[in-house]
Amino acid sequence: MKIAVVGGGIFGVTVAVKLARVGFGVDLFEKEKDILMAASGINQFRLHRGYHYPRSAETIRDCIRAEASFVKEYGGAVIAGDDHHYCIAKEGSLIHHNDFVKVCKNFGLGYVEVRPAMVNHDRIGLSVKGYESRIDPDKLRQLCWQKLKFAKVNLKLKTAVTVMQLKKYDFRVIATYARLNDFVPSAKQRNYQFELCEKPVVKLPREFNKQCLVVMDGPFMCIDPLGRTGSFLLGNVVHAIHQTNIGKKPEFDKKFKPLLNRGIIRNPPVTNFRKFIESGAEFIPGLVRAKHIGSMFTFRTVLPRLEKTDARPTVVTKIDSKTATIFSGKIGNCVEAADEVLALVKEI
């Protein structure tokens, strides 16, 4: 059986490798010059266990369940041992800190109350240290390349495959995230919420070394080290998003086109960096000393109108007898999704 996988992100790579390992001939199509160039290479690179999603029991369960399979496949890219702080804002949070504690206890998410020195505790109702890991994006890409070669996946970079070209395959797996509808018949397309996001990359003072920090649970910010580079990634629920739309495809101003999925853009002509700093410094005063290296831009794609829970489900859908799609917003779920696709293919 000959199988086409479209999309060279972590989900496409993982499913291509899984299918090739059991003997299927697999062509993996990626329109960019390398794998993991879009959302898989532009995110906060957390291996989630569920702390960040206290309003979605489903997402917590998914994260906890999927962690072991990701570590087994990509353990060499996992960074453990950092301090992961979760700070519940006194005002504006969508969950009270007492409820956050209940969620942690209910799901067995270990924590200890701490008061990190870099935080303005006048604005925080509770701060705890939890137990999560990070992902090194450079090592992850290296591992993906090794696995693709060892499994003998036929990787076709800089190749914008068409629907017509895909028809010659016995089975097709679409893992194109923001471009999922491009390869799905109109009757089977669905609406997504597309968010054009900026991820500033910064240098921070020494006291931030090995510190991951998120202010929860609302219109706030987060800081995470960027792999082993010594730099940091900033996130912000509000200011990270430059444009958003709900529909079949992402819509955006043409000024963003040269910025999208191009890695770190130094001195970007469009940036919300100052807004990241000004709003974040209310909780983490040391942010004012951040030095902006540049920013990364990509589309985050989520199911629409889930603001109440902020759920991040992983959805494998059989479109027809020869086509399946993968949609997910969490890197840690890639192995589970690949296993689900493999089960579908074996049914044929």
Beta bridge partners of 3: 26, 171
Say if pTM beats, i.e. exceeds, 0.75: yes
pLDDT at 17: 99
Q: What 3-state class would DSSP assign to 117?
A: coil
Residue 310 has pLDDT above 90, yes or no: no
pLDDT category, 309, cuts 50, 70, 90?
Answer: confident
User: Can you spell out the DSSP letters for 144-200?
Assistant: HHHHHHHTT-EEETT----HHHHTTSSEEEE--GGGGGGGS-GGG---EEEEEEEEE
For the stretch 1-52, pLDDT in tens is: 999 999 999 999 999 999 999 999 999 999 999 999 999 999 999 999 999 9
Distance CA 250, CA 245 (A): 7
**Domains, the chain, with CATH or none:** 2-346 (3.30.9.10)
pLDDT category, 281, cuts 50, 70, 90?
Answer: very high
pLDDT at 305: 87
Residue 307 has pLDDT above 90, yes or no: no
pLDDT category, 66, cuts 50, 70, 90?
Answer: very high
Residue type, 255: K
Residue 250 has pLDDT above 90, yes or no: yes
Residue 90 has pLDDT above 90, yes or no: yes
Closest CA to 95 of 181, 220, 254: 220
Residues in Cβ contact with 2 at an 8 Å cutoff, skipping those fewer than 6 apart: 24, 25, 27, 168, 169, 170, 171
* Distances from the Cα of 159 to the Cα of 35, 97, 151, angstroms: 12, 49, 20
Closest CA to 17 of 176, 138, 173, 136: 173
